[in-house]
Amino acid sequence: MFIVNSYLLAIVLCVVTMVCWGSWGNTQKLAAKSWRYELFYWDYVIGILLMSLIIGFTLGSVGDGGRSFITDLQQVAGTAFLSALLGGIIFNASNILLSASVSLAGMSVAFPVGVGIALVLGVILNYMGQPKGDALLLFTGVALIVVAIIVNGMASGRMQKGESAGRKGVILAIVAGVLMSFFYRFVAAAMDLDNFQSPEVGKATPYTAFFIFALGIFLSNFLWGTLAMKKPFQGEPVSYKTYFSGNLRTHMVGVLGGIVWGLGTVLSYIAAGKAGAAISYALGQGAPMIAALWGVFVWHEFKGADKKTQALIAAMFAFFIIGLALIVVAGN
């Protein structure tokens, strides 16, 4: 399998993770305007599972290092399998709740609250599991990225003055953030992060762990996805009949979204062996800033913004870049 042996390459992969995690949402904008998120989400989940198989049979099966994808899958112990599977189930629940929070309270509330909590708690949990890197630099960088996310929320809020942040949306964002902070640690626990070259018997390689994680997302969506369709937090219930009535283009756009997010995630797991789980997770969770870049320069969401809002946007990117640099230096 393909193994990262350079810290610099590991950081490059983490940056790609951040770009993927911050870019997949564009596919939802490209889907049909009448296509509900609950329907789009099924295609997104299928795309993640598809990506896990593609990467497993390609990068996970080439080279002389480690165990190949199928060989590794056959020897994974039950505890490691369940740990990665549980990570997928937890992630899926958190992602659906975060999406519901966006629909109720808007991105200016949901992302600063949800992703901010996930970033801080997630880095703490992953660092406790694998204390790799300079703690002071790492957590200072994380703090600056949290500030950047908050400033991003303030800028978005100034552009959405007419929208009210419902109490239910805030509560959902808090729950989503707490849940999201746990998923990465469960997947990391299924792998031998200290030795991808000759991993411990019973532990999974990153490729196998990602496949099991994706399987957890897919299987749990029959519960979480169905509940979201039948008992939506906003709007009328939608049916599977409506889902199957969608055209091929609409479905493929959703699958593409899952492939993009899945690529970012598996690269994060691959990089974790060299960069450490905490640093790998922290860099990936800078994704809201990538989403902000898309919003500013492609979708022109801040068109017509006043000078104070423009200043907040500039400050957001400054905090983000400095925080990112500190996280990179922390593991060097």
For position 160, what pLDDT does the model report?
60
Contact 47, 254 (CB under 8 A): yes
- Examine residue 2 and state whether it is found in any structural domain, yes or no: no
pLDDT in tens, the chain (332 residues): 899 999 999 999 999 999 998 888 788 778 877 788 889 999 999 999 999 999 999 999 998 778 999 999 999 999 999 999 999 999 999 989 987 887 676 555 666 777 778 888 888 888 998 888 899 999 999 999 888 888 877 887 777 654 454 578 778 888 998 999 999 999 999 999 888 888 899 999 999 999 999 999 999 999 999 999 999 887 899 999 999 999 999 999 999 999 999 999 999 999 998 998 889 988 888 777 787 778 778 777 677 888 998 899 899 889 988 988 899 899 76
Residue 115 structural domain: 7-330
Cα–Cα dist 332/169, whole Å: 39
Backbone angles phi, psi at 204, to 5 degrees: -100, 150
Q: Please give the C-alpha separations between residue 128 and each of 121, 135, 303, in angstroms, as whole numbers.
A: 11, 11, 43
Q: Which residue type sits at 99?
A: S
How far is CA 215 from its chain centroid? Answer: 16
- Examine residue 50 and state whether it is found in any structural domain, yes or no: yes
- Examine residue 325 and state whether it is found in any structural domain, yes or no: yes
- Examine residue 32 and state whether it is found in any structural domain, yes or no: yes
For position 6, what pLDDT does the model report?
93
| DSSP state string for 222-285 | HHHHHHHHHS-SSS----HHHHHTS-HHHHHHHHHHHHHHHHHHHHHHHHHHHH-HHHHHHHHT
Cα–Cα dist 86/81, whole Å: 9
For position 283, what pLDDT does the model report?
87
Number of separate helices (H) and strands (E) present in the chain: 14, 0
Contact 257, 116 (CB under 8 A): no
Q: Which two tokens stand for residue 167?
A: 């109490």
- Look at the chain and report how many structural domains it folds into: 1
**Considering only CA atoms, which of 67, 48, 332, 97 is closest in space to residue 206?**
67
- Examine residue 1 and state whether it is found in any structural domain, yes or no: no
Region of residue 134 (left: phi > 0; alpha: psi -120 to 50; beta: else): beta
- Examine residue 109 and state whether it is found in any structural domain, yes or no: yes
For position 103, what pLDDT does the model report?
67
